[in-house]
Structure 1
Amino acid sequence: MRDKKELMAMSAPQFSVKLAETEAELQSAQHLRYRVFVEELGAGGALVDHDQGLEKDQFDPFFDHLILRDEAREGDASQQVVGVYRVLRSDQAVKAGQFYSEDEYDLTVLKNSGRKLLELGRSCLHPDYRGGVAMHHLWTALAAYVFEHEIEVLFGVASFHGTDLHSLAQPLSMLYHNHLAPEDLRVRAQPDHYVDMNLVPNDQLDRRRAMLEVPALIKAYLRLGGFVGDGAFVDHSFNTTDVCLIMDTKRLNEKQKNIYTKRVAR
Structure 2
Amino acid sequence: MATAVLLSKGRYRARLAQSSEDIRAAQNLRTLAFDTRQLDSDAFDTRCSHILVEDMRSAGRLVCCFRMLTMDHGREIGRSYSAQFYDLSSLEGFSGRMVEMGRFCVHPNQIDPDILRVAWGAMTSYVDHNNVEMLFGCSSFAGTETEQYLDAFAMLKHRHLAPKRWLPRVKAPDVFRFATRLRRRPDTKKAMLRMPPLLRTYLMMGGWVSDHAVVDRQMNTLHVFTGVEIGAIPPARKRLLRTVAD
For the superposition of Structure 1 and Structure 2, which TM-score range results when normalised by the shorter chain?
0.7 to 0.9
- Give CA-to-partner distance per residue, 1:183-211, whole Å, 9 cap, x none: 23322331633420134314x43222122
- Indicate the SS of the match to 1:81: strand
Evaluate the alpha carbon distance shift between residue 96 and residue 228 of structure 1 in structure 2; reply closer, same or farther with a 3 A threshold: closer
Distance of 1:65 and 1:122 partners within structure 2: 10
User: Residue 59 in 1 paired to residue 56 in 2?
Assistant: no
Larger Rg over CA atoms: 1
The partner residue of 2:105 within 124, 130, 140 is: 124
Partner of 2:7 in structure 1?
none
Partner of 2:222 in structure 1?
241
Partner of 1:14 in structure 2?
11
Partner of 1:113 in structure 2?
94
Tell me the TM-score normalized by structure 2. Answer: 0.88
Distance of 1:233 and 1:23 partners within structure 2: 31
- Indicate the SS of the match to 1:201: coil
Q: Residue type of the partner of 2:191?
A: A
Tell me the TM-score normalized by structure 1. Answer: 0.82
Evaluate the alpha carbon distance shift between residue 210 and residue 96 of structure 1 in structure 2; reply closer, same or farther with a 3 A threshold: closer
Could you tell me the percent identity over the aligned residues?
29
In structure 1, the gaps of 5 or more residues are 1-12, 50-54
The partner residue of 1:177 within 145, 158, 171 is: 158
Q: Residue type of the partner of 1:149?
A: N
Normalized per residue, which structure has more strand?
A: 2
Distance of 2:77 and 2:92 partners within structure 1: 15
Evaluate the alpha carbon distance shift between residue 217 and residue 263 of structure 1 in structure 2; reply closer, same or farther with a 3 A threshold: closer
User: Residue 26 in 1 paired to residue 23 in 2?
Assistant: yes
1:1-266 to structure 2, matched below 5 A, reads 14-38=11-35, 43=36, 48-49=38-39, 55-73=40-58, 80-90=61-71, 98-190=79-171, 192-198=173-179, 199-202=181-184, 204-264=185-245, 266=246
Number of residues of Structure 1 aligned to a counterpart in Structure 2: 237
- Indicate the SS of the match to 2:99: strand
CA RMSD of aligned residues (A): 2.4
Distance of 1:95 and 1:244 partners within structure 2: 17
Contact 1:62 1:95 survives alignment (8 Å): no
In structure 2, the gaps of 5 or more residues are 1-9
Structure 1 moving runs of 4+ over 3 Å: 91-97, 191-194
Distance of 2:201 and 2:95 partners within structure 1: 27
